């Protein structure tokens, strides 16, 4: 992309607070954006070939939405944690293996989308994200959901298409969790904690494509209780 095109993009962004440049084959995060740290609120650089998010990302203190889907990122800088106003972080379809602990400092974060990466362990330290609504970890390589999950404030956790065979009963203690998606994993019926059905707030528990027939969920203690929540939620939206 020519310099003049980038220049006109930058001029527009200065006025709008939005910088969107998708599918242009960019190999690095545009250094020129540093001039706009004071007023950029939304950045979308999806569909490029960016391999590194620079430490200078921490300078964008007004940033509310950062989207870098379908790039080549393998890691994230710890400076990301400085973005105290960030509400949406979307990094689907990269090569990220783990998150820096500083992600737990993104106090305003509502949506964290990490679908289609190479994460093999359920990320720790996300319990500090009190505003988190959606955590999407689908299409990764996670094998177990640990007890620490109970600290999460998320309303929806998407773990479809991982390799999960262990699901901690602590997931039923997530205070706001309504939607838990675990389709196409490696769960046996015996791995499903009854407490998800009997004691949790979960009203949509999605487990198609595991190592048991979904209709066998009906045999578990608490299924009737779960169905009451499921039906009540359905009525609310119809």
**CA 51/CA 205 separation, integer angstroms:** 36
**CA 140/CA 113 separation, integer angstroms:** 12
Quote the pTM value.
Answer: 0.96
* Per-residue pLDDT in tens (0 to 9) along the chain, 238 residues: 556 777 888 889 999 999 999 999 999 999 999 999 999 999 999 999 999 999 999 999 999 999 999 999 999 999 999 999 999 999 999 999 999 999 999 999 999 999 999 999 999 999 999 999 999 999 999 999 999 999 999 999 999 999 999 999 999 999 999 999 999 999 999 999 999 999 999 999 999 999 999 999 999 999 999 999 999 988 877 6
Q: What is the 3-state secondary structure (H, E, C) of the chain?
A: CCHHHHHHHHHHHHHHCEEECCCCCCCCCCHHHHHHCCCCCEEECCCCCCCCCCHHHHHCCCCCEEECCCCCCCCCCHHHHHCCCCCEEECCCCCCCCCCHHHHHCCCCCEEECCCCCCCCCCCCCCCCCCCCEEECCCCCCCEECHHHHHCCCCEEECCCCCCCEECHHHHHCCCCCEEECCCCCCCHHHCCHHHHHCCCCCEEECCCCCCCHHHHHHCCCHHHHHHHHHHHHHHCC
Q: Using CA atoms in the order 86, 91, 95, 98, what is the torsion angle rounded to 10 degrees?
A: 40
**CA 28/CA 46 separation, integer angstroms:** 12
- Main-chain phi, psi angles of 47, to 5 degrees: 70, 30
CA nearest 226: which of 201, 189, 190?
201
Domains of the chain: 1-70+78-90+106-112 (3.80.10.10), 119-237 (3.80.10.10)
Task: Identify the pLDDT of residue 137.
Answer: 98
**CA 195/CA 130 separation, integer angstroms:** 23
Task: Identify the pLDDT of residue 7.
Answer: 81
Task: Identify the pLDDT of residue 9.
Answer: 84
């Amino acid at each position: 992309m020519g310099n003049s095109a980038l220049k006109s993009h930058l001029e527009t962004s200065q006025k709008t607070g939005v910088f969107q440049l998708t599918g242009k084959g960019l190999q690095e995060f545009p250094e020129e954006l540093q001039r706009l740290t004071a007023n950029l609120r939304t950045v979308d650089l999806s569909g490029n070939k960016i391999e590194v998010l620079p430490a200078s990302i921490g300078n964008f203190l007004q940033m509310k939405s950062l989207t870098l889907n379908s790039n080549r990122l393998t890691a994230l800088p710890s400076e990301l944690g400085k973005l105290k106003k960030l509400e949406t972080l979307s990094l689907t379809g990269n090569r990220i293996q783990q998150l820096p602990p500083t992600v737990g400092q993104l106090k305003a974060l509502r949506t964290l989308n990490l679908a289609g990466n190479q994460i093999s362990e359920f990320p720790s330290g996300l319990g500090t994200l009190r505003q988190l609504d959606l955590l999407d970890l689908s299409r990764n390589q996670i094998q177990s959901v640990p007890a620490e999950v109970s600290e999460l404030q998320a309303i929806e956790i998407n773990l479809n298409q991982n390799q999960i065979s262990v699901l901690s009963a602590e997931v039923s203690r997530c205070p706001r969790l309504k939607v838990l998606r675990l389709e196409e994993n490696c769960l046996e019926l015996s791995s499903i904690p009854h407490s998800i059905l009997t004691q949790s707030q979960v009203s949509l528990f999605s487990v198609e494509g595991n190592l048991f027939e979904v209709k066998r969920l009906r045999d578990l203690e608490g299924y009737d209780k779960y169905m009451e929540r499921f039906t009540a939620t359905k009525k609310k939206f119809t």
